[in-house]
């Protein structure tokens, strides 16, 4: 159990520290708000197109630089912020060529590698242990210090549950029997945390701050059954690779299935959700009209989810014989876009329009040098107001806040175009100690804060009006006040 310490609580009194630490911490919440205006600056959502079928699956028949550039340009045309490269660690020269092409096209890289032996790819055999993986990961990053740039994403081991180690060590049912948490899921979570920390620390040592290392893909079952609070707290979000449609071809039913999959994760953890992979259809080769109708419906539904933090469409280019989700098709890699590509482009463009480049993002905000930057490594500026009372009203025994917390007060703040609200807390109230009335301490404290949170949510009803940090930090408060931990 990690018990909240006074110095941890006091740290939350500074909005800059609460919102901007590169590492998550278990402290009080700061609510980051954006007025619902046409020019409102809100947090950026990562949008990506995955190149796995070529950046990974062509290792034995590698593309030329010209062919790589062509595919990257096709992906760039879909208005993505990132392009995912899946080349294994074992082929650093090929990975370098893909990553160089993405950067040359003016896009960020979402690098999703693993070691061949982890999944016994390309003829490798044997069991790679988590410790061996972590050692190799650190060595790779230090050997390639300029591979990634600020704004890029590194997932050090996407879908780590696919490693041969788990079943070989714990049996085929390791992820559900015995009922989690079990020895296997505990080691699995430690592996995610360790590989995340290794990536973060190595990149920092190399002067590559600004590379996002907390977008870690897992499958939907793992996300809702096997992840641990400590893992989610470190990451600050949950990333799932999600293909829930199966053989569904009805657009409405498919959209409902996708929303249900994403919502199940948010309902479990109450943090932002990233779709590390999504695409239609993995179950069958569907015609162009069906693919476009289904994806159009799914994007319309996903656009309504305020906690959706990113989407990586899997895949861009692919084979007409095998890859039902492909957006680009053609012989000899003379790619042409399928009709659904325009729906992906429209969805990504709408996200880019809504998420201004000057966004005061709460998810992925970090310090680079003496500058605050968002997930896309763009400088940001916080414009905040203070909501007083929560640092003294509870101690004095008469309430939670000093002043109104209704919709009218929220509307007033919105009219000032504030992008952050500072809510200080008092450790005596938080911990229910030193004689603070029980009605204003401990469990009662987050109840009072939810009053304001609900009004804040109502005050900014458009998509992304409840940014990731507000939701994640507030639910951390809820859990901490309920069970004394974070």
329-372 pLDDT per residue, tens: 987 678 999 999 999 999 999 886 555 443 444 445 667 666 67
Residue where a domain stops, chosen among 295, 321, 354? 354
Segment 364-389 mean pLDDT: 70
Within this chain, do residues 106 and 235 fall inside the same structural domain, yes or no?
A: yes
Q: Tell me whether residue 392 is in a domain.
A: yes
Order across the sheet with 82-85: list the strands.
153-154, 108-111, 82-85, 46-50, 308-313, 273-278, 238-241, 217-219
Query: Looking at the structure, do residues 173 and 236 belong to the same domain, yes or no?
Result: yes
Instruction: Check pLDDT > 50 for residue 474.
Output: no
| Last-in-domain residue among 354, 389, 404 | 354
Q: Which element (helix H / strand E) includes 110?
A: strand 108-111
Q: How high is the pLDDT of residue 185?
A: 98
Look at the chain and report how many structural domains it folds into.
Answer: 2
Are 76 and 36 part of one and the same domain? no
Question: Do residue 185 and residue 56 come from a single domain?
Answer: yes
pLDDT level of residue 174 (50, 70, 90 thresholds): very high
Tell whether 334 and 370 lie within a shared domain.
no
Q: Among 77-91, 183-197, 296-310, 342-356, where is mean pLDDT lowest? A: 342-356
3-state helix, strand, coil in the chain (%, to 5): 45, 10, 45
Question: Mean of the pLDDT values across residues 57-77?
Answer: 95
Same domain, 307 and 251: yes
Mean of pLDDT over the chain: 81
As given in the structure block, the two tokens for residue 22 are: 């590169």
400 and 434 part of one domain: yes
Using DSSP bridges, classify how beta strands 238-241 and 217-219 pair: parallel, antiparallel or unpaired.
Answer: parallel
Assigned domain for 359 exists: no
Whether residue 226 lies inside any domain: the answer is: yes
Dump the DSSP string for 114-136. Answer: --HHHHT-TT--S---HHHHHHH
Close Cβ partners of 179 (under 8 Å, ≥ 6 residues apart): none
- Three-state SS at 49: strand
The pLDDT of residue 274: 97
Cis peptide leading into 253, omega within 30 of 0? no
Q: Which residues pair with 373 in a beta bridge?
A: 366, 379
What is the per-residue pLDDT across 286-321, written as a single tens digit (0 to 9) for each?
999 999 999 999 999 999 999 999 999 999 999 888
pLDDT at 445: 57
Q: Do 263 and 278 have their domain in common? A: yes
> Is 219 a domain residue?
yes
Provide the terminal-to-terminal Cα distance of the chain, rounded to the nearest Å: 8
Average pLDDT of the residues in 192-197: 98
Q: Which domain holds residue 442?
A: 6-42+364-483
Whether 409 and 418 have beta carbons less than 8 Å apart is answered as: no
For residue 429, what pLDDT is reported? 75
In the predicted structure, residue 36 carries a pLDDT above the cut 50: no
Domain shared by 340 and 390, yes or no: no
Give me the CATH number covering residue 331.
3.20.20.80
Residue 121, pLDDT > 70, answer yes
Is the pLDDT at 224 greater than 80? The verdict is: yes
d(CA 210, CA 284): 39
pLDDT higher for 33 or 374? 374
pLDDT of residue 189: 98
Helices (H), 64-214: 65-76, 92-104, 116-119, 130-143, 164-170, 183-205
Least confident piece of the model among 220-224, 238-242, 377-381: 377-381
Residues 105 and 30 in one domain: no
Does residue 388 share a domain with residue 316? Answer: no
- Measured distance CA(293)–CA(22) in Å, rounded: 40
| 188 located within any domain | yes
Whether 168 and 262 map to the same domain: the answer is: yes
Res. 14: pLDDT tops 50: no
The residue assigned the tokens 């790679």 is 128
Phi, psi of 309 (to 5 degrees): -110, -10
- Inside any domain, residue 296: yes
Contacts of 481 (CB under 8 A, 6+ apart): 430, 442, 443, 445, 446
Model confidence pLDDT, tens digit, residues 386-433: 878 878 888 788 887 777 777 677 777 767 767 677 777 777 776 778
**339-345: Cβ within 8 A, 24+ apart:** 339/288, 339/289, 339/291, 339/292, 340/280, 340/288, 340/291, 340/292, 340/295, 340/296, 341/78, 343/292, 343/295, 343/296, 343/299, 344/49, 344/78, 344/295, 344/299, 344/313, 345/77, 345/78, 345/79
167-176, 425-434, 436-445: which range is least confident on average?
436-445
Output 168 or 427, whichever has higher pLDDT. Answer: 168
Q: Which of helix, strand or coil describes residue 90?
A: coil
| Residue 45 confidence (pLDDT) above 70 | yes
CA gap 377, 107 in Å, rounded? 12
Task: Between 461 and 226, name the one with better pLDDT.
Answer: 226
Which of these, 199, 238, 195, lies nearest to 219 by C-alpha position? 238
Domain endpoint, select from 354, 375, 392: 354
Assigned domain for 33 exists: yes
Q: How far apart are CA 104 and CA 51, in angstroms?
A: 16
Rounded Cα gap, residues 441 and 461, in angstroms: 30
With 90 as the cut, is the pLDDT of residue 199 above it? yes
Read off the pLDDT of residues 240-264 as tens digits, 9 standing for 90 and up. Answer: 999 999 999 999 999 999 999 999 9
Higher per-residue confidence, 390 vs 445: 390
Residue 1 within a domain: no
Half-sphere exposure of residue 302, counting CA atoms within 13 Å on the CB side? Answer: 33
- Say whether pLDDT at 275 is over 70: yes
């Amino acid at each position: 159990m990690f018990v909240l310490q006074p110095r941890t609580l006091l740290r939350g009194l500074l909005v800059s520290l609460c919102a901007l630490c590169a590492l998550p911490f278990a402290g009080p919440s700061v609510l980051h708000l954006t007025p619902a205006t046409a020019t409102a600056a809100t947090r950026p959502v990562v949008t990506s197109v995955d190149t796995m079928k070529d950046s990974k699956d062509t290792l034995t028949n590698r593309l030329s630089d010209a062919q790589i550039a062509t595919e990257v340009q096709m992906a760039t045309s879909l208005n993505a912020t990132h392009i995912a490269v899946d080349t294994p660690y074992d082929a650093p020269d090929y990975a370098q060529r893909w990553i160089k092409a993405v950067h040359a096209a003016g896009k960020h890289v979402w690098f999703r590698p693993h070691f061949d032996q982890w999944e016994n790819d390309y003829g490798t055999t044997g069991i790679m242990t988590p410790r061996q993986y972590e050692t190799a990961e650190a060595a790779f990053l230090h050997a390639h210090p300029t591979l990634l740039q600020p704004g890029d994403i590194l997932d050090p081991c996407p879908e780590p549950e696919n490693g041969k180690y788990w079943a070989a060590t714990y049996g085929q049912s390791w992820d559900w029997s015995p009922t989690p948490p079990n020895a296997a899921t505990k080691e699995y979570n430690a592996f995610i945390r360790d590989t995340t920390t290794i990536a973060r620390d190595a990149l920092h040592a190399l002067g590559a701050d600004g590379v996002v290392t907390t977008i870690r893909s897992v499958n939907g079952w793992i996300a809702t059954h096997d992840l641990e609070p400590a893992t989610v707290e470190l990451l600050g979000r949950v990333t799932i690779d999600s293909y829930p449609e199966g053989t569904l071809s009805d657009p409405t039913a498919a959209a409902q299935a996708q929303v249900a999959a994403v919502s199940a994760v948010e309902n479990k953890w109450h943090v932002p959700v990233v779709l590390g992979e999504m695409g239609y259809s993995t179950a069958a080769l569907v015609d162009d009209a069906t693919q476009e109708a289904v994806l159009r419906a799914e994007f319309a539904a996903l656009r309504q989810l305020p906690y959706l933090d990113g989407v990586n469409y899997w895949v861009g280019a692919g084979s007409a014989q095998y890859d039902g989700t492909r957006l680009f098709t053609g012989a000899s890699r003379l790619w042409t876009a399928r009709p659904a590509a325009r729906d992906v482009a429209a969805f990504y463009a709408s996200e880019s329009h809504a998420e201004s480049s000057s966004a005061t993002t709460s998810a992925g905000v970090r310090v680079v040098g003496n500058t605050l930057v968002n997930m896309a490594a763009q400088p940001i500026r916080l414009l905040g107001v203070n909501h007083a009372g929560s640092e003294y009203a509870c101690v004095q025994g008469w309430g939670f806040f000093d002043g109104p917390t209704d919709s009218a007060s929220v509307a007033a703040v919105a009219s000032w175009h504030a992008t952050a609200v500072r809510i200080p807390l008092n450790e005596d109230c938080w911990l229910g100690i030193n004689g603070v009335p029980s009605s204003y301490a401990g469990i009662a404290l987050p109840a009072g804060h939810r009053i304001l949170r609900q009004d804040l949510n109502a005050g900014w009803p458009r998509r992304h009006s409840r940014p990731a940090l507000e939701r994640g930090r507030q639910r951390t408060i809820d859990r901490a006040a309920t069970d004394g931990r974070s």
